[in-house]
Amino acid sequence: MSGLRDFLAMGGYAAYVWPAYAVFFLVLAADWLAPALRRRRLLRELRGRIARQEARERRGTDASTSLPPAT
Amino acid sequence: MSTWIPLWLHRLGSPPTFYAFAGRLRPWAIGLALLLGIVALYGGLVLAPPDRYQGDDYRIIFIHVPSAWMSLFIYAVMGVASFVALVWRIKLAEVVAMESAPVGAAFTFITLATGSLWGERMWGTWWTWDARLTSELVLLFLYLGVIGLYHAFEDRRQGARAAGFLAIVGVVNVPIVHFSVKWWNTLHQGSTVNLFGQSHIAGDMLWPLLTMMLATKCYYVASLCGRARADLLALEGGKDWVRRIAAGEAR
């Protein structure tokens, strides 16, 4: 186990080397997740828009007979 | 349109085709990035010996330098794509330019943060107004300016055009960052790795560095594919092909 401990100690520079690697991975992970979340949100909004549009069209055809004629 | 451009390139420029192409490319690019990244980390953190003067602290180089290369490389891609977008009004070029900016900003931030951690021990300071550090900070502000300008417009294509201008003007900073260590007497060291000459680094430190460079390039391709796909969905929200995708993922 002393091999692993030595490795983690980084010759006394652990407080500098590991935070640097943490920044690297955290920033890239955030960069990777951002478009996935955006894509999910976009598609959800789009499905809502399509559903509303279809509902409007259905209502439109049902109500068309009872509407007063356009003047 | 001129005939010397191959037909498949025309087709690739159409949003639904590029959406499908990017979707197929992305898993391969991220897979290769992870594979190369793991190999590079093993080589850099485990196999490479400690530096004679800096001990193990120099191991920050394996992420600092590839990130710095990417910060300039992505800016150059963004500049070229912006130019193509402004001259030929190709929608896909706008998407590539504007979606490259956040990835470039991420790599620039990593460069500055890891450099700061490295400098604290080796130079005794987190920050100094050295030519290399200052020009890299300007690069970060240029990226943030492009992102901000793009989002400041109601009309996305108008925003992309304005931000594209800023990106092109900012290209002048790329050679300044690159040559800053030559033109000025800087605290930051000169180039360690030279493509066309003698590199001042031992082979067992050089190969993890170059492998990590390839890994970050692959990562950029993968990230850009994901971002461009999301952006194309937003831009083409009213079109049939996007509606089919939205309906297909309903469940």
- What chain A residue is nearest to B232 in terms of C-alpha separation? A39
pLDDT at A59: 84
**Rounded Cα gap, residues A67 and A70, in angstroms:** 9
B230 — contact with chain A (CB < 8 Å)?
A: yes
The arithmetic mean of pLDDT across residues B32-39, rounded, is 96
3-state SS of chain B?
Answer: CCCCCCHHHHHHCCHHHHHHHHHHHHHHHHHHHHHHHHHHHHHHHHHCCCECCCECHHHHHHHHHHHHHHHHHHHHHHHHHHHHHHHHCCHHHHHHHHHHHHHHHHHHHHHHHHHHHHHHHHCCCCCCCCHHHHHHHHHHHHHHHHHHHHHHCCCHHHHHHHHHHHHHHHCCHHHHHHHHHHHCCCCCCCCCCCCCCCCCCCHHHHHHHHHHHHHHHHHHHHHHHHHHHHHHHHHCCCCHHHHHHHHHCCC
CB atoms A20 and B117 under 8 Å:
yes
**Rounded Cα gap, residues A51 and A59, in angstroms:** 12
Q: Check if the beta carbon of residue B220 is closer than 8 Å to that of residue B74.
A: yes
Domain edges within chain A: 2-64
- pLDDT digits over B63-98, tens only? 999 999 999 999 999 999 999 999 988 889 999 999
Residue B1 has pLDDT above 70, yes or no: no
Q: Check if the beta carbon of residue A31 is closer than 8 Å to that of residue B102.
A: yes
Closest Cα in chain B, distance from residue A65 (Å): 29
CB atoms A16 and B118 under 8 Å:
yes
Residue A55 has pLDDT above 60, yes or no: yes
B123 pLDDT band, cuts 50/70/90, is confident
Greatest Cα pair distance, chain A, in angstroms, is 91
- pLDDT digits over B90-107, tens only? 889 999 999 999 999 999
Tokens encoding B62: 């394996």
Q: What percent of chain B has pLDDT over 70?
A: 96
Better pLDDT: B4 or B179: B179
Q: Which of residues 31-70 of A touch B (CB under 8 A)?
A: 31-32, 34-36, 38-39, 42-43, 46-47, 49-50
Closest Cα in chain B, distance from residue A70 (Å): 29
Residue A66 has pLDDT above 80, yes or no: no
ipTM, interface predicted TM-score of the complex: 0.88
**Rounded Cα gap, residues B200 and B206, in angstroms:** 9
CB atoms A46 and B246 under 8 Å:
yes
B244 — contact with chain A (CB < 8 Å)?
A: no
CB atoms A20 and B113 under 8 Å:
yes
